[in-house]
Structure 1
């Protein structure tokens, strides 16, 4: 490995003591009687979660868990990139870079690490923190710029001639940019979403299934898309509260995780309260919530820059549509990537790697080992 140093998560006790004080001194706003989740994050649910956070959650235990897998910091074009790097045990393990989204982190993939590194059909897993997230450099970049860094990380820092890539949410955008910009080194890619209609499409070119998908997405944005509009327009205004109050941070993250779900799914999707809180803690202890939401603004700016537009490539792509995810048709995916596998999954949602790790890991393995 080149320009790479070992890394361990080590949060100071001062940070944890400060967190405890902030949680204990929360000023609760109150909520409309019987509103539940209809107005946003349920206060009664959040108060119960904070009680657990204060009395039962053990960061030091979770910190030890995070450190059980090898982690590194790479210097990539002058930026510090944090990543996990776990070698597969098979003789011909395939190098695979997995990219997370928002409001999760590299922790999104921890359940599938043992599933994809064992057996003959295994992978060398590279799981980085996007710049502006977690333990990587605190700077917000466009997805295309992140793809440039991932290409350098995989080929120059780690020395792979070719590699595979997968991602969802923001990770989808990064992976899509990788296959578009670097088809000579990306051997295959996997997606759980491929992007959404933005109102710029010519209806005459859309199938009936695509038009229905566009209508469904529009309705979803009206009901649940406030977070993205704020991130894309006024991320700094939001950042002050989220970086100052752990309860505000948890509320904002929970509000998105809850979109289209129920409280039991919130915890099931992240594997329980400990895992849900660990994901939130990664934002808190690194103070990266501001740069993470700022990435939306950076992305919104580059969308209007024609020089940043991405062309469809011939890199073979697998697409898996989970039931609690936007239900796009195959022809929509074919607009953006070279679909050679398109599957409607039986269970799971936006955070499939956390919610149904066995299903997700098998989908990745079967696809990547089927294409070459």
Structure 2
């Protein structure tokens, strides 16, 4: 496997073009509705546009991103961009962490620091990790797959090859959103390589065994399924669009930076533990760094493609065996869905379950300290096994 160092260096004309496009936005007429009721708030978007065009410093953001060691690798015919940060302890444990949508590898910027050097944050140096954060195929600097069929299961195969190419025969996995799906696929397909997985989200397509031969649904499970369906009806339109007509949507979002900002920014508000005030949790610089990665790499269309592929290969375990590697789960209070423990235990060996005190869908950005502590706790037993 060929691996080469990588540094982000967006050409200056691309930065100038983005500013020009933002300044030239043709704003849609405002409808008589309360702020955020029907989607991204126009007043908030205009404020964000002003900051993006006049004050946001991409070069400073770029320098921050480049502080993490990045690489490009050719993995089984697919080029993969990834961060590979070595731990500061004597025997760091290898961990692959996978992002989702509308996040990116930037989502784990603060978490990587906490995982690789816990002593710098008041923790135990013995809890250090070697952390690998790949960009999903079609996201940021990982090109889109050349052929169809790249679902979470195929990405899991790539991650195993990547980790082995880096010298890790056994490792752990962590993820939320689409990254949770990849982590589940890693455990399901590669139990000889994956010690265990830690999740802060359950893939929406996950279906455990619930037939006549299994335990009947509990009241908690019935409530969860009802709430999940209600959420999908009111909030899941984005996912249905991604999974059915991604290229129709990509035509507009790839051409309009403020359309892209509306599509992504609204989710950071709706899915986080911000009490309706997105600026309380995420700075404009953080939001725009993430959005700019989608813009400069023109990856919004290819990122949505993964929803199409996952729809064709859902996470159904109804007729299959239980997943062998143990699972840890951090259930954040403002996550999109909050499954009961029994729902996971129909398929997984859940050995750690924590109801978190605060935080939402973007846990690695919102509460990196809380998430890091859970990850450290879950993987401690595996360190003893490999020591």
- Same fold by TM-score greater than 0.5: yes
Contact 2:265/2:287 (<8 A) preserved: no
1:349 paired with 2:360, answer yes
Contact 1:181/1:310 (<8 A) preserved: no
Contact 2:270/2:276 (<8 A) preserved: no
| 1:144 aligned residue (148, 153, 164) | 153
| 1:317 aligned residue (324, 327, 346) | 327
1:218 paired with 2:224, answer no
Structure 1 unaligned residues grouped into runs of 5+: none
1:272 and 1:255 mapped to 2: Cα distance? Answer: 14
Contact 2:206/2:314 (<8 A) preserved: no
TM-score under structure 2 normalisation?
0.90
Q: C-alpha root-mean-square deviation of aligned residues, in Å?
A: 2.1
Runs of 4+ in 1 over 4 A off after TM superposition: 197-204, 260-265
Deviation string, structure 1 residues 39-89 (Cα, Å, up to 9, x no partner)? 111111100011111111100000000001110001101111000000001
Deviation string, structure 1 residues 157-177 (Cα, Å, up to 9, x no partner)? 201110110001100000000
2:211 and 2:320 mapped to 1: Cα distance? Answer: 18
TM-score under structure 1 normalisation?
0.94
Structure 2 unaligned residues grouped into runs of 5+: 118-124
Counterpart of 1:130 in structure 2 is: 136
Distance change (3 Å), C-alpha of 1:90 and 1:260: closer
Distance change (3 Å), C-alpha of 1:187 and 1:260: closer
1:167 paired with 2:179, answer no
Residue 285 of structure 1 and its aligned partner are, at CA, apart by 0.4
Counterpart of 1:193 in structure 2 is: 201
Aligned residues: 368
Distance change (3 Å), C-alpha of 1:70 and 1:338: same
Distance change (3 Å), C-alpha of 1:55 and 1:159: same
2:270 and 2:342 mapped to 1: Cα distance? Answer: 26
Shifted more, 196-205 versus 281-290: the winner is: 196-205
1:89 and 1:3 mapped to 2: Cα distance? Answer: 25
Residue 202 of structure 1 and its aligned partner are, at CA, apart by 5.0
